[in-house]
Amino acid sequence: MLARLVLLSFPAVASAAGDEWTKLAAPNFEVFTTAGQGRGREVLQHFEQMRGFFLSKTGWNLPPGPPVRVVVFRSEKQFDLYRDSKIFGAYYLSGRDRDYIVMGPASSQGRRLAAATFLYLLIRKSGMQLPLWLQVGLAELYSTLTPFAGKVKVGHPLEHHVRTLATSRWYHLETLFAVTHDSPV
């Protein structure tokens, strides 16, 4: 938790950390990264595309505010200093004055994690109160968002989910609908 609190004062931390940080900005996002300018541009473009897609397809209105600050680390070692769990490769953090998305290094899951994490931010900012199972399901669905021929594809099967569905015990609907952040499930 302390690492997340440190991110709230990120510019000062970034300059003191000794790593070379690159900052890129667009109307709705700021990207701070140690992964280089090329990776930073890719991340910035991807977030702007996702925002445009989600807002045009959902009609959600977001309250005005400063750009979302996206922090992308070059290595797992750097990222480990700022995350609470090895399980998550990205997370969303709402600060008093702005929102943050913090991501580990580029990987095959980088775009998926970015989309899923951004959807959590959109759900929170839109004011919707969705059950946890629906939030997670929507995040997984839209994590497949992929630019394709000037459009966006979404909804292709995720191999690890297909495998899990084929090999694991399914929950009863009552159990699934009762899941909260504090549930042992």
Residue-by-residue pLDDT tens, the chain, 185 positions: 444 544 545 555 555 455 789 999 999 999 999 999 999 998 898 889 888 888 888 888 777 889 999 999 988 888 888 877 666 778 888 888 899 988 888 655 677 778 888 888 888 888 888 888 888 888 888 888 877 777 778 888 888 888 988 999 988 888 888 888 788 87
Q: How high is the pLDDT of residue 71? A: 92
| CB of 98 closer than 8 Å to CB of 67 | yes
Of 116, 118, 114, 9, residue with least CA distance to 72: 114
Three-point CA angle 58, 60, 63, nearest 5°? 155
**CA 177, CA 34: separation in Å to the nearest integer?**
40
The reported pLDDT for the residue numbered 13 is 52
In angstroms, the CA 106 to CA 179 distance is 31
pLDDT for 9 equals 53
Note whether 14 and 31 are within 8 A (CB): no
State the Cα–Cα distance between residues 170 and 175, nearest whole angstrom. Answer: 10
Q: In what order do the strands lie in the sheet with 99-103?
A: 22-25, 29-33, 68-72, 99-103, 90-94
Round to whole Å and give the CA distance between 54 and 62. 11
The per-residue pLDDT for 25 is 95
Supply 51's token pair: 């925002």
What pTM was computed for the model? 0.77
